[in-house]
Structure 1
Amino acid sequence: MVPVPFTEKTLTRSLLDVLIRAGLIAILVLFCFEIFQPFRDLMLWSLILAITLYPLQERLKGPLGQKEGRIATLIVLIAIVILMVPIYLLGTSIADSVEHAMSTVKAGGFHIPPPAESVASWPVVGKPLSDVWLQASTDLPDLTAKYIPQIKHASLGLLGKLAGVGMGFLTFIFALIIAGVFMAHGAAGSRSAVQIASRVSGPAKGPQLAELCTATIRAVALGVVGIAFIQMLLVGLGFVFKGVPGAGLLALAVLLLGIMQLPVTLITVPVIAYVIGTEGVSTTTIIFSIYVFIAGLVDNVLKPLLLGRGVDVPMPVVLIGALGGMVTSGIIGLFIGPVVLAVGYQLFWQWVQDQPEGAPPI
């Protein structure tokens, strides 16, 4: 066989072939991404839930048999039943709070106290703020009519946010159902994850990479998102049963603070002070205060049990992931953002620490 001479013409043709193939692959990837993009957040959240709940499915294999599909279906059904009750109570509380506020304003029972004299002496904003505050306390209808466009814009924005929260919870339910399908094929999915990781980083490091991603997802999902959700349910149910105004919105604020790794006492302590200030000291208010205060500190007990386990994710990474996810993808991004950013953080440092053989130690 006569070898083909290596000339500039053959080199140009080979380079052209490579560019054409790369262009066709890029076009195919772009089309696939556009088709998959509407389902991106839903599938990511489903995958996170499946990876997080799969150890529970493995533990139930013995008592409930060896059929993964049946166990996954049972877990999903129980989870939906458990979630629907508090979500319904919180949603009803939000609707009642909005309706009560609207009826109070229409009936004229809403009164704003006049500002203190010291407000006007505040630098820069003191005098304008004091004037607006004084007008609100003496002639609220005229002030409201003056700022109707701004109030309408803010109200529409608030309604949009509340609708986004409802859609987020609905997406969560669908994601939980899809996660059940993933868990029903858990063994095959685990093998596929190892194969993909091995194809990316090599057969020697592929299983370690897949294990690192799995451990990070479970640690952040349980130790950050899971604990924040538990806190929201515990504190929110206390607010609902006590009849605190705006209990649903306060519960959502508890969820946000929990995911951002900020103390929930920023909300529970003012609510306790409000309840005691309006209802006085009694057995009911004391029990409510103790319960809500302990529920706001439950993360200090659960974090050592659920967070970590060999995975160290700094708080700023979780905070940036929560805020960035909420900005880009709404309420569902609040859950997905910390998990995805934590996985990327762990993979980056794994790559940094993976020095090539023969390299001098740093």
Structure 2
Amino acid sequence: MNSTQLQRGVFLALLAAVTAGFVWILLPFFGAVFWAMALAILFTPMYRWLFKRLPKGRNFAALVTLTICLVIVILPLIMITLSVIEQVTLLAQAIRSGQINFAAYFQQILDASPRWLVDLAQRFNLGDMAAWQSRITAGASAASQSIATHALAIGQNTFDFLVSFFVMLYLLYFLLRDGADLSKTVRNALPMAKPHTHYLLNKFTTVIRATIKGNVAVAIAQGTIGGLAFMFLGVQGALLWAVLMAFLSLLPAVGAALIWGPVAIYFLATGHYWQAGVLVFVGVAVIGLVDNILRPLLVGKDTQMPDYVVLMATIGGMAIFGINGFVIGPAIAALFMAAWSLFVNSGNLDDVPDEDIPPPK
């Protein structure tokens, strides 16, 4: 009996060690593996649809799905990123040369402000234009140097980026093709009751799919609307601000307003009343409506989490995991709530029908 327990303990220790070693090996490609899994979850319904209609089997259906993913998601994202880097560089150069002078803009706002607000700004030493100009110039210089450093780093790490990119595509192909079998293997391997395992994995899949679809849809809608409004109003660097609004829209309720709000205040303070009115209308009535309608429909409905939980999980996830955190954070929060729900209602969970696609004949 003692020998059997010893053998089992040694085997479990070996299992834990090789699992930790495998995870350690994958850490350099964490982003590639994560986004391959996320995109596989997102595009699996399309793969299943193509698999049922294309005559050449799973390999061809996975290849077609991968091509569609590459065309509609990855290539446009790369092109937008390159355009934003170019606009950031031009904007930083304009700030350094004085073509764009935020201190002057702030002075215009102070000149148009009521006396009590000017006194308050002076009390907190916010009205010293020379100090503001010095800080902004130093910030622009630091931003330019940072951009140049990152550009050099990108150039030096191009090989690593290409390796990670092709690892993601390669892994995505096999996850699309064999994802159902892998999911079934994971369910059978986990030492939990099968209904509970199925429920948690389905919850994880649902949250990943809803978070990506919902947040990306909201980000594209808000960024596009805000960028078009800025372009119409003649704001310099409209594409950059559109991307920033799209990125900040990952934060529910307050995200995009952090960009269009200060611009609307500047227009109002400098006497550009119709521009301010148009921007406030677009920001509140259009961008805000998109956030209030699309996000609950696409994110909250499927994740079944309150907005404040989604907000905290998104911010916390991005603080820890970077850009990947806007998906990882809500997924962890959803699994936390689902696991505690199982604990509280243990024994009341019915088995969920298996939706895995049948193996090809």
TM exceeding 0.5: yes
For residues 253-298 of structure 1, the C-alpha deviation after alignment (integer angstroms, 9 at most, x for no partner) is 423442221243453344345456668467x887777656524532
Matched, 1:228 2:247: no
Q: Are 1:97 and 1:246, in contact at CA under 8 Å, matched by a contact in 2?
A: yes
Structure 2 Cα separation of the partners of residues 84 and 208 of structure 1: 36
Structure 2 Cα separation of the partners of residues 108 and 261 of structure 1: 31
Residue of structure 2 aligned with 1:301, choices 293, 296, 302: 293
What is the 5 A alignment of 1:194-233? 194-200=184-190, 201-233=192-224
Matched, 1:190 2:180: yes
State which structure, 1 or 2, has the greater radius of gyration over its C-alpha atoms.
1
Structure 1 Cα separation of the partners of residues 116 and 90 of structure 2: 36
Q: Are 2:93 and 2:144, in contact at CA under 8 Å, matched by a contact in 1?
A: no
Give, in angstroms, the shift of residue 49 of structure 1: 1.8
Structure 2 Cα separation of the partners of residues 308 and 43 of structure 1: 26
* Structure 2: segments with no counterpart, 5+ residues: 155-159, 350-361
Structure 2 Cα separation of the partners of residues 175 and 353 of structure 1: 43
Give, in angstroms, the shift of residue 189 of structure 1: 0.8
Residue of structure 2 aligned with 1:29, choices 19, 23, 30: 19
Structure 1 Cα separation of the partners of residues 317 and 162 of structure 2: 15
Give the stretch that moved more between structures: 271-280 or 77-86.
271-280
> Is the alpha carbon distance of 1:58 and 1:36 closer, same or farther for their aligned partners in structure 2, counting shifts above 3 Å?
same
How many residues get paired? 331
**Corresponding letter in the other structure for 1:212:** K
> Is the alpha carbon distance of 1:41 and 1:78 closer, same or farther for their aligned partners in structure 2, counting shifts above 3 Å?
closer
Matched, 1:56 2:52: no
Structure 1 Cα separation of the partners of residues 296 and 77 of structure 2: 24
For residues 215-244 of structure 1, the C-alpha deviation after alignment (integer angstroms, 9 at most, x for no partner) is 222222222344234423442354356542
Matched, 1:258 2:245: no
Matched, 1:74 2:56: no
Give the stretch that moved more between structures: 285-294 or 188-197.
285-294
Residue of structure 1 aligned with 2:309, choices 305, 312, 317: 317
Structure 1 Cα separation of the partners of residues 272 and 168 of structure 2: 49
SS in 1 for 2:84: helix
1:337 corresponds in structure 2 to 329
Q: Normalising to structure 1: TM-score of the pair?
A: 0.69
Give the stretch that moved more between structures: 317-326 or 284-293.
284-293
SS in 2 for 1:300: helix
Give the stretch that moved more between structures: 205-214 or 38-47.
205-214
**Corresponding letter in the other structure for 1:192:** L
Structure 1 Cα separation of the partners of residues 237 and 53 of structure 2: 43
Residue of structure 2 aligned with 1:244, choices 235, 246, 249: 235
Residue of structure 1 aligned with 2:86, choices 69, 92, 98: 92
2:259 corresponds in structure 1 to 267
**Corresponding letter in the other structure for 1:155:** A
Structure 2 Cα separation of the partners of residues 17 and 28 of structure 1: 16
Q: Are 2:47 and 2:176, in contact at CA under 8 Å, matched by a contact in 1?
A: no
SS in 1 for 2:206: helix
For residues 47-97 of structure 1, the C-alpha deviation after alignment (integer angstroms, 9 at most, x for no partner) is 112211222344455776663133213312322344345444433332222
> Is the alpha carbon distance of 1:218 and 1:332 closer, same or farther for their aligned partners in structure 2, counting shifts above 3 Å?
closer
Structure 1 Cα separation of the partners of residues 182 and 91 of structure 2: 48
Q: Are 1:182 and 1:189, in contact at CA under 8 Å, matched by a contact in 2?
A: no
Structure 2 Cα separation of the partners of residues 319 and 158 of structure 1: 33
Q: Are 2:66 and 2:169, in contact at CA under 8 Å, matched by a contact in 1?
A: no
Structure 1 Cα separation of the partners of residues 287 and 19 of structure 2: 47
Q: Normalising to structure 2: TM-score of the pair?
A: 0.69
Q: Are 1:49 and 1:179, in contact at CA under 8 Å, matched by a contact in 2?
A: no
For residues 104-148 of structure 1, the C-alpha deviation after alignment (integer angstroms, 9 at most, x for no partner) is 17x9996463899757976xx974x32xx45x425778x66xx99
Matched, 1:352 2:344: yes
